[in-house]
A and B are shown apart, each in its own frame.
Chain A
Amino acid sequence: MTDTTERTFALPDLGEGLVEATVLEWLAAPGDRIGRNAPLVELETTKSAVEIPSPYAGTVVRLHAEEGEVVQVGSALVTFAVEGPAGEADDGAAGQAGIVGRVPQDGEAPRRRVRLRPPEE
């Protein structure tokens, strides 16, 4: 039996620093086998409707939003079962794209957390 790994695809920013999008129509349902780049979902942003191609080939396990629901960029959109062993971490939120680049994430914790000592007064 082939190993499968669950992969969750988070809503990426589709450009211009969008922070959310509305699910217009699911083009795949739980249980569907889906090919890479097959139509997955149609979203509406503040500008226009965009069809998102599936980032994986595999089986759709869960849809994380109803049609008509507003999804925040970085939130889970779909979980797939993808053939192959668990390896790399989930892609997670891909960050948000600005019209060029990505909107910076706030509140990033320092990596090393340098500790300070108040001076002797």
Chain B
Amino acid sequence: MTMPSPTPARPEPHPDFGPDFARRCYLQMLTARRIDEEAIALQRQGVFPAYVSLRGQEAAQVAGAAALDTERDFAFPTYREMGVALAMGVDMVGYMASHRALWHGGLYDPAASRFAALNAVVGGPVPHAVGWAVGERLRGGSGCAVAYFGDGASSEGDVHEAMNFAAVYRAPVVFFCQNNRWALSVPNERQVAGGSVAARGQGYGMPGTAVDGNDAAAVHHAMARALERARAGEGPSLIEALTYRVEPHSTSDDTSRYRDAEEERAWRGRDPLTLLRARMEADGSGDAAFFERAEQEARERAEAVRDGVSTAPEPDGADLFTHVFREPTEELARQQRVWHEEVRP
């Protein structure tokens, strides 16, 4: 039985986290949950070759990303940030297209969405966030970069190098670690020496905060403060959202080989949606009518995304060649003619 080991911060909600904000967060978290369920069903129905669920991480993703300014900030995801994509307004059919294997990186526009192409090399995008942030300051902009990574990726050299760079350059970056306790089959105890990713911030000269990643208000508070700090020119921050991957690593994974079902059950009991709903019922920001409406809306959106991604056309074979270069080469044009003559369906 493992629960968050470092003591997570439980701050008062940030002033922005008012009733309207809570309702928007809840609706998006619920929508992410319903899209996630549809995606798992699509895998069992043979439409997706595989899928990676975010279940249990909705607060860590949605409530944190809700603090971003999508006019000027930029997010750098790995491959499990569907809730971040949703909160940032990314085209969700284009996002899920990646899971149907229609196009690596998805079929949304990363530049317009300010949400980079999803990335399967964990840790790889983290230095990109630092470069983007340094570039933003050089050009006089006020945007911040958010680098998403997990407890597994926290072991990658790129992540450490990026943190050091960010602090050296005082770059406006938020390093946002979703510690979901399991990097595929390897638990925190065998992954994160010292037991805390947040504690590493100190070594890189930046504040490191562990928060309860299933508490939407706490996650939002930490992200909002880190963004304020970055925007004020005070440099990078590290947030560790302590959460749990209640589903397998992917639909093809078998957790019974490496972890206790009891642990999964206990964490399902700390469901971020249930926790937020209880808070909203207690403070009056959500009544029964709201929750009913939210359910209806989330379902409709999830079904629309499901139908959209299921029926999206497969890319044309000529797309193989289209974007390899901005300035195409003769040799590639020759190879495309070979494809046209010998392969094209």
Contacts and interface: CB of A to CB of B under 8 A. Distances in A.
A48 B256 CA distance: 9
A12 B50 CA distance: 11
A15 B251 contact: yes
A95 B50 contact: no
Given A15-B50, A94-B46, A99 B252 contact: yes
Interface residues of B, number: 19
Contacts of A55: 45-47
B46 A100 contact: no
B49 A102 contact: yes
Interface string A86-108: 00000101110111111000000
A104 to B, nearest CB: 12
Nearest to A15: B252
B253 interface: yes
B49 A101 contact: yes
Contacts of B49: 95, 97, 100-102
A10 interface: yes
Q: Contact size class for A?
A: 20 to 34
Contact of B44 (A50, A91, A95): A50
A12 B44 contact: yes
B46 A53 contact: no
Nearest to B47: A94
A95 B49 CA distance: 8
Q: From DSSP, what is the main secondary structure of chain B's interface residues?
A: loop
A63 interface: no
A57 B132 CA distance: 47
Interface string B322-345: 000000000000000000001001
Given A16-B254, A47-B256, A100 B50 contact: yes
Interface string A1-27: 000000001101111100000000000
A101 B44 contact: no
Contacts of B254: 15-16, 47-48
A50 B47 CA distance: 16
B252 A52 contact: no
Nearest to A54: B45
A102 B50 CA distance: 9
B50 A97 contact: yes
A50 B45 CA distance: 12
B253 to A, nearest CB: 7
Given A13-B46, A95-B46, 6 more contacts: A12-B44, A15-B250, A37-B41, A55-B45, A97-B49, A100-B252
Interface of B: 37-38, 41, 43-47, 49-50, 101, 250-254, 256, 342, 345
